[in-house]
Structure 1
Amino acid sequence: MGPFDRTDRLRWQAASLLAAAPVAAFAAADAQTGLNAPATPQQRVEELHQRVLAGRSATATLEAWCAEHGLADKARVRAVRVQGVQRDAPDEVRRALQVEPGTPLRYRRVQLACGQHVLSEADNWYLPSLLTPAMNAVLDGSDEPFGRVVAPLGFQRETLRDEAWWPARGEGTGATVLEIRALLRDSAQRPFSYVIESYLQGALPH
């Protein structure tokens, strides 16, 4: 290659780099815009879905969610008991808890709220005989979340069924975006609680 050819090639390479620079800059800007774009409601539902599945306690997961998304000044989840509701345990609940039809179970229905936001509703059947008397007294006489009360049992959470929806099922902030059925086992691997959790559109940040 002669001197003239070499110079000509260098000029062509420089021109190519200059031409490519704006394209690369626009691509980087688009990528950054994508990273900074707010998540869609469907993405929020899936994020919440995965967080609940990965968490050891729904209460702790929702408190972290509430704090991260600024749903309340103080990110503390409270259980608002729904009074006057009593539901017999379906057969699938007793099978999962490995108890006979006549074994006493207690039922608790609550709404889990953070600030002014109702995040979820839960139907919970549990074995009082596997809880301490103090735990049963707190559950009977207060609005403390179940997961917080039974935390000393060192429980593990097993997801039995889960399903997410977007658009949500129902109307307004009370519409359901996620339903999870889970079994709680104590440190001795004894099942003691069966819960059906309905996560509501009110849990999604605006």
Structure 2
Amino acid sequence: MAAFIATVSPAAGAVAERPDAHYVQRLRLLAQLQSLNAELLSRDSATAVLQGLCDRRMAEAPPVRARRVAAPDDPAAAAAARRQLGAAANEPIRLRRVELICGETVLSRADNWYLPGRLTPQMNTALEATETPFGVVVAPLAFQRRTLSARLLFQPLPAGWEVRSDLAFDAPAVPPRDVLQHRAVLQTPDGRPFSLLVETYAADVLTPQPPPIRDR
């Protein structure tokens, strides 16, 4: 695919866009995705990762909050989550569906199946009545995160890009709404699980791209 080159006459004061500008933009997006993925894999609290991202974006960043989203009853999904958590068939399980927000920007959407009987009454009240993120509420448990899967939903560059020398792009990459998804279990230090998470990270976790570099 041929790189885009502006054809307006330089005498008219126009500038030509560098043929590798969109390639660089795509490399930046891929680097951001891989860095975020690596940080999530290395930390127990996804909320802490998002708070750090929020702090870097805003001079006086507010705490990340979990805005509740209505979730329909799904007995099959509840049964699957119960099995994943090793809970008895009669053990209560709840779904907390939220959007994790920095200011008014949605950074991720999460489905959180959790076992209220393995939390304290105070934790259950906070989860029902506040917008405090799950990871903040259950922090006193000193929980550990066990990642089940991590999947990039957005590929700025094609497979094998690192060994190809013929890549050029006519346009910058445009991320979709969702760019990364993790499935994970939270457990106490003795290995007892209490939460199954499906976290889907929005395109706004990626920092804005600078304008393409242009040749004069």
TM range (shorter): 0.7 to 0.9
Q: Shift of residue 152 of structure 1?
A: 0.2
Tell me the secondary structure at the aligned position of residue 41 of structure 1: helix
Output one character per residue of 1:36-82: Cα deviation in whole Å (capped at 9) or x when no partner: x87611211111111111111000011112223x1564152111111
Q: Shift of residue 87 of structure 1?
A: 3.4
Match of 2:115 in 1: 127
Output one character per residue of 1:72-95: Cα deviation in whole Å (capped at 9) or x when no partner: 641521111113544333544222
Whose RCO is larger (CA < 8 A, sep 6+)? 2
Report the AA paired with residue 197 of structure 2. V
Q: Which runs of 5+ in 2 are unaligned?
A: 1-23, 157-173, 209-216
- Flag the 1:127–1:174 CA change in 2: closer, same or farther, 3 A: farther
CA RMSD after TM alignment? 2.2
More helix per residue: 1
- Match among 100, 103, 106 for residue 112 of structure 1: 100
| 8 A Cα contact 1:66 1:72, kept in partner | no
TM-score using structure 2 length: 0.70
- Flag the 1:48–1:71 CA change in 2: closer, same or farther, 3 A: farther
Output one character per residue of 1:3-23: Cα deviation in whole Å (capped at 9) or x when no partner: xxxxxxxxxxxxxxxxxxxxx
The CA distance in 1 between the partners of 2:79 and 2:36, in whole Å, is: 29
- Larger Rg: 1 or 2? 1
| 8 A Cα contact 1:87 1:107, kept in partner | no
| 8 A Cα contact 2:107 2:204, kept in partner | yes
- Flag the 1:119–1:72 CA change in 2: closer, same or farther, 3 A: farther
- Match among 43, 52, 55 for residue 64 of structure 1: 52
| 8 A Cα contact 1:174 1:202, kept in partner | no
Identity across aligned pairs (percent)? Answer: 40
Q: Which runs of 5+ in 1 are unaligned?
A: 1-36
Output one character per residue of 1:105-161: Cα deviation in whole Å (capped at 9) or x when no partner: 011000001123210000001010010000000101111100000000010000011
Tell me the secondary structure at the aligned position of residue 40 of structure 1: helix
| 8 A Cα contact 2:181 2:200, kept in partner | yes
Report the AA paired with residue 48 of structure 1. L
TM-score using structure 1 length: 0.73
Tell me the secondary structure at the aligned position of residue 153 of structure 2: strand
Please state if 1:96 is matched with 2:96.
Answer: no
